[in-house]
Structure 1
Amino acid sequence: MTTTQTSATRSRWWKLAWIIPAGLVVVVLVVLAAQGIRSLPAVQSFLIDYPGESELPAGSPVGLPAWLGWQHFLNSFFLLFIIRTGWEIRKGKRPAAFWTRNNTGLIRTKNPPVRIGLPTWFHLTVDSLWVLNGVVFYILLFATGQWVRVIPVSWDVIPNALSAALQYASLDWPTGNGWINYNALQLLAYFATTFIAAPLALATGIRLAPGFSATFRSMDRVLPLSVARAIHWPVMIYFVAFIIVHVTLVLTTGALRNLNHMYAARDDEGWLGFAFFAGSVVLMVIGWFAARPSLLAPLAALTGKVRR
């Protein structure tokens, strides 16, 4: 990096430095406002009527199954690299290598293969694994009845979600037991992530995939590239924000118990869930450093030609 580039980078960071103090001011104001609102008699009555949790249907499953633990790890592992490669693609830097698929076998088409950068190849590859994992997740979710925990089944989820949001904002967080039932705000967040954000990411990602326009020209009228780009990037920002909030709440609302729910399929405060979580973090760190052009290029060469 040249001196000019370094200076430009520092200048951009200084221009963004105001975000941290401004964000802290906003947080303080929100907390004070929420605490003031909670002191109102009508609001206190509202919190009693809607404590922040909707009742589950009779016969709903209790606890979290073991398959949800490895699904959670695979989903977070794939999303890590989807976000990383998505950012690399957005920066627009020249890739270290380019990949061109072999126009043979099941993926043979009439259109000539499109040359793409190695980060784009990795992005699309991990996307495919993420989608496959998602299909398995959907099947197990509905086959085991766990869907009732992440899909709203009554309209009182809305006032209960408002109640939970007010409780979080006032720093008097709602008490609950995720082993049995999520609070309404969690339920809506998981529903939005699973059934809105994920399908949007998939649909717009396919639309933006190199060579798609040439193969499916009719889609230009249904979902123009400009619209797909305008949706795809904010969806990624949503996933980043969701992950930050999700991890923060997991670690600040009873970390050991929450990690046991998510990784060990048990409802206690032992260390097994933390051990699985720590192991998953180690694997993600190893994968982060291993995912370099020197390793990715030979893998990409298995399905196409790689050129510098």
Structure 2
Amino acid sequence: MIGLLVAASAAVLVARWLLTLEPLRDFVAAYPGHAPLPEGAPVGIPGWLGWQHFMNAFLMVLIVRSGWQVRTERRPAAYWSPRRPKDGTRRISLTLWFHQSLDLLWVVNGVVFVVLLFATGQWMRVVPTSWEILPNAASALLQYLSLDWPTENGWVNYNALQVLAYFTTIFVAAPLAAVTGIRMSGLWPSTARRLTRLYPVELARAIHFPVMLYFVVFIVVHVSLVLATGALRNLNHMYGGQDAVNWTGFWIFSASLVVIAAAWLAARPVVLAQIARLSGEVGR
């Protein structure tokens, strides 16, 4: 812990020193951290995006929790099996059933999100559209490290570092989580022997866990920056659907946390077993 604090302090001091150099001051002036958006890019955050954001957060918190439980669980409280087992199907722990069920809901939510993203033009806000994104991202990173953070106006245009992070999360990390999760689940066709050899389950496991860690780090950094760079305005953007500084978005966000916390507490074997029985048999 002390080592991390020392490294962070050193990074801040180095970034501040670099920004005293004239070439880097000129660089930041030329590339303030925001790459220009394509003509016709939408302004603001629509209601559907706020709802999708909540659903993604709700599912992701439970997915990370259940995924960690699957990884560390030694004695499952119960097992689930389909009522009409097919060739290759097997009994799985109730925790794994919960994790895979959440994964399916998350994939459906993600597909809806991507379709709406391109149908409404919102993709232009999270997909790099010019090479200017790279120097602007470097500039934004330098400003973050110096603690003299780039000007935020997420209602109109995310800074370049945010764009790269959102693009990576939506179009790289999320698909990797989905395809590796499917490979490790009962949805994988057991009769596809050649495909199974080309894509071994060990490879899927080796990718799936680091991707989960990426999501955890992304969520922690994302929430920290939302709260540290103008919490009321940022929460209003996503939850209140308005570019204003008031408490509307905060209270909606707080209510969403209550819902997530309630789901976290309710996700116990006695509750999950009742839900799981709707799609199969549950027993020890």
Calculate the TM-score normalised by the size of structure 2.
0.97
Alpha-carbon shift at residue 211 of structure 1 (Å): 6.6
Alpha-carbon shift at residue 213 of structure 1 (Å): 6.0
Please name the residue that 2:77 is paired with.
96
Aligned match for 1:47, one of 19, 28, 43: 28
Aligned match for 2:234, one of 253, 258, 263: 258
Alpha-carbon shift at residue 212 of structure 1 (Å): 2.7
Match runs of 1:103-142 below 5 Å: 103=84, 109=86, 111-142=87-118
Aligned match for 1:158, one of 111, 134, 138: 134
Q: Over the residues paired in the alignment, what is the CA RMSD in angstroms?
A: 1.2
Alpha-carbon shift at residue 166 of structure 1 (Å): 0.4
Aligned residues: 284
Q: Is 2:205 the counterpart of 1:229?
A: yes
Structure 2: stretches of 5+ with no match in the other structure: none
CA contact (8 A) 1:51 1:160 kept: yes
CA deviations over 1:159-198 (Å, ceiling 9, x no partner): 1000000000110000020000000000000000000000
Aligned match for 1:148, one of 113, 117, 124: 124
| AA at the equivalent of 2:164 | L
CA contact (8 A) 2:33 2:136 kept: yes
Q: Is 2:48 the counterpart of 1:67?
A: yes
CA contact (8 A) 2:79 2:94 kept: yes
Please name the residue that 2:258 is paired with.
282
| AA at the equivalent of 1:79 | M
% identical aligned pairs? 55
Aligned match for 1:196, one of 157, 163, 172: 172
CA contact (8 A) 1:116 1:210 kept: no
The structure-2 alpha-carbon separation of the partners of 1:63 and 1:294, relative to structure 1 and needing over 3 Å to count, comes to same
Structure 1: stretches of 5+ with no match in the other structure: 1-19
Please name the residue that 1:56 is paired with.
37
Alpha-carbon shift at residue 138 of structure 1 (Å): 0.7
Please name the residue that 2:63 is paired with.
82
Please name the residue that 1:212 is paired with.
188
Q: Which has the higher mean CA deviation after the structures are superposed, 283-292 or 211-220?
A: 211-220
The structure-2 alpha-carbon separation of the partners of 1:177 and 1:272, relative to structure 1 and needing over 3 Å to count, comes to same
Match runs of 1:165-180 below 5 Å: 165-180=141-156
Task: Classify the secondary structure of the residue corresponding to 2:42.
Answer: coil
CA contact (8 A) 1:213 1:219 kept: no
Please name the residue that 2:12 is paired with.
31
Aligned match for 1:294, one of 270, 273, 276: 270
**Cα distance between partner residues in 1 of 2:28 and 2:88:** 62
**Cα distance between partner residues in 2 of 1:59 and 1:30:** 38
Which of structure 1's runs of 4+ aligned residues deviate more than 6 A? Answer: none
| AA at the equivalent of 2:4 | G
CA contact (8 A) 1:98 1:116 kept: yes
**Cα distance between partner residues in 2 of 1:190 and 1:50:** 20
CA deviations over 1:109-145 (Å, ceiling 9, x no partner): 4x15310001100000011111111111011101100
